Amino acid sequence: MADNPSHRVKLYALNENKQWDYLGSGNVTSVPSESQGVFLVVRSESSDSQILESEVLPDTPYQKQKDTLIVWSEAENHGMALSFRDSEGCHETWEAICRVQGKDPSVNVTQDLLDDLEEEIDETLETEDLDELPNCELSKLKQIANLVTSAFNSPLRRRRLALVLENETYIKKLLQLLQSCENVGYTEGLYHLHTIIKGIFFLDKTALLEILFSDECIMSVIGCLEYDPALDQPKKHREFLTQNANFKEVIPITTCKLRQRIHQTYRVQYIQDILLPTPSVLEENCLTALKTFIFLNKMEIIHMLQSDDKFLPQIFEQLKDKTIDNDKRHELLFFLKEFGAFAQILKPRSKDALFKTLTQMGILPTIKVIMSLDDFQIKSSAIDIFAYLVEHSPSVIREFILEEDQQNEKGSLLINLVIKQMICDTDPEQAGALHIMGLLRFILDPDNMIAMPQKCERSKFLNFFYKQCMHNIIVPLWATTSEDTFEEDHILGDDINNKYCLHDYQTAQLLGIILELLTFCVQHHTYYIKYYILRKDLLRNVLILMKSRHTFLVLCALRLMRRIIGLKDEVYNRYIIKGNLFEPVVNAFLTNGTRYNMLNSAVIELFEYIREENIKSLLAHVVEKFYKTLEWIEYVQTFKNLKIKYEQEKERKSQKSLNSLQNSKMLLSRARDLEKNEVSCKEDKENIEEGESGMKPLESDFQDDCDTSMETEKTTENEDKVNLPKRTSSGDLKFTYAHSSGDANGTDNPMRLVDYSDDEEEEDKEDETALRKRPHLNP
């Protein structure tokens, strides 16, 4: 063998799963056999042991590919492959094979090879440079970084690199080079380490993350990520995590595993949020393994805390203790807030179980105690925790509030404490108030009440809310728009004085939020809010806000009125007409002038809606009261069309009245004729009775005439469908009308002289009612 040339190769074998396994690197030699054949012998490069001895047989199919690869199949599903470093070695070995099989070396195939072998080996060769990674040395860092970067050229290379890196010792040896680079000031090496570690993250393999996030490695990983080549100076993340981000145990944690998981999760979350770039739209599915790792860690933390019988109850007890200092209370609330944020990732069933446990432990009474304190920031944190509970199960919140009400805790109801937090928000943009308004809407939403155990609970809660809470919500509105003293006791007490100003921006923001909530109530609680608006004359106060310098507040007030008019409720319509509540709307419209803006469009849409829906009472009121003021507006036809609609309605009513008068006269005339006939018939009958003894021969003739007369009257009665008037006890005549079968079914009525359209039916009924109420006629 010493005389035969050897060539460096990599050896592969096809396994049972039809995948190529890398068997190692070595040197191949063509060794003659006793039968004048040839053996292909490969000895390992590292151990000098023989890793292949394969005899070249005449009937074995061989194939040469790409000038550096020889593939053959010794048996079914038993393929072998030699990958040569250079083409010269491949050519010499190929000549030895062709001599044995009697083939011309210029051919590339001695016999047909299985197609699977050709396809699979091509894929394997694509990753052959990743089979053996360079040694973890400072001088090899650039080569390793290039290999990691090139692995993202194809999914196959990424999978192969991840598989190779699962060897724990390799990653740990890489991370040890961080200290070496920092000690010698090897900046290029530090940049290469950043590229390598970042690339390992984007391989998206959980097994690799388990290595990177181990207690032994995680701080070194953070250290490598500090040296981003895009930055002028490295960031000191390790210093921040070890010196500034101190972990405080608000309640002593006795489980070492729980403490370790909390530390690990915090640091991993820091890596995701701070050190790794935000994925673009095209990369949104990247780093899924990292997200899953954090998710599973949080799940484990929640379950460990939930199963601890002492940890959470101790937190609630300390939060309810009014003697603890605010710093400690802040820490407890922050922990509970983070715990609630963790809980959002749970599946519905697990989340239900968790919140049920928290409710049983007394989280709502705890929040109530916190909301009764004077520290605004502490109460804001409590609201964040309250929000998690509301969004998960508003029915539980309603149930708790009703239980409070039954216990006669009128002055300190949780819901009123939440409302007080809303109307006392110190933020100029009222972000907290807006958040609380959203929570109140969620609690008051009828769609969230459908699942309540008893149907009466829905009305029970709304009755309670409008009796015990709504007046607290409108306190700022009343204080801003009314000079009268607020009649009901409210949560602000004497603090209401000089607290709100109509033109103040912060007040305007708060009032806009309150009006949004009232608009929601008008839409969803029609019956309950109606009584409240009418009893307190609330809409009048709201429309005073039309004078505000803040257009958004003017629009909020207008939106509420539009929602009320949209109900098409005549009780509301009469209230608006009687209070002349269109006047502030028209004034704001005129003040706005000809500017084409949202206010202009909103007012025009309001009047257009009244015209299109033909809300007769409001249409007549607007035209009669304001048309002369608005008739100059011609850039839209809204007001002219209102006037036209009004005139048409007026003309129709006039014609209607005339027809009704004619009908009344005709009916009265017919009634008098019938009365005269009845009196005449009665007198004739009396005369006949007086002279009956002396006029016997005429009896039969008179009877025939009387029968004929009665038949005539019956015929007339059937034709006119009018019963004879009946005398009442007072001597008056009472008219009753017999309706035909067609009339009963809603078809033509023979008494109607004019066929009115459907929209006049209601007024017809009113006219008939008025006719029936006329004074009775005396005979």
Contact 496, 490 (CB under 8 A): yes
Q: Where are the beta strands (DSSP E) in 33-68?
A: 38-44, 50-56, 62-65
Inter-CA distances, 569 with 37, 532, 762, Å: 107, 15, 16
Rounded distance, CA 246 to CA 64, Å?
Answer: 64
Helices (H), 474-525: 475-481, 505-524
Ranges in the chain, pLDDT < 70: 1-3, 75-77, 112-131, 168, 279-285, 409-411, 450-456, 483-499, 657-659, 661-662, 665, 678-779
Rounded distance, CA 210 to CA 208, Å?
Answer: 5
Inter-CA distances, 234 with 89, 189, 226, 592, 754, Å: 49, 14, 5, 58, 94
Q: What is the pLDDT of residue 284?
A: 55
Helix, strand or coil, per DSSP, at residue 228: coil
Q: CB 551: neighbour CB atoms within 10 A?
A: 14
Please, what's the largest Cα pairwise distance for the chain?
174
Cα angle 127-209-235, degrees, rounded to a multiple of 5: 105
Rounded distance, CA 724 to CA 713, Å?
Answer: 10
Helix, strand or coil, per DSSP, at residue 102: coil
Rounded distance, CA 305 to CA 22, Å?
Answer: 47
Contact 176, 136 (CB under 8 A): yes
Rounded distance, CA 209 to CA 165, Å?
Answer: 11
Q: With a threshold of 0.85, does the pTM exceed it? A: no
The token pair that represents 659 in the structure block: 């027809």
CA 501 centroid distance within chain: 35
Total number of residues shown for the chain: 779
State in Å, rounded, how far the first CA of the chain is from the last one.
Answer: 149
Q: CB 708: neighbour CB atoms within 10 A?
A: 10
User: Please, what is the angle between helix 155-165 and helix 168-184, to 10°?
Assistant: 80
Tell me which DSSP letter residue 382 carries.
Answer: H
Rounded distance, CA 200 to CA 216, Å?
Answer: 17
Strand partners, 408: none
Q: What is the pLDDT of residue 412?
A: 82
Residue 745 burial by Cβ neighbours in a 10 Å radius (0-12, 13-18, 19+): exposed
Which residues lie below 8 Å from residue 636, measured CB to CB, with a gap of 6+?
604
Beta strands 20-32 and 62-65: pairing type? unpaired
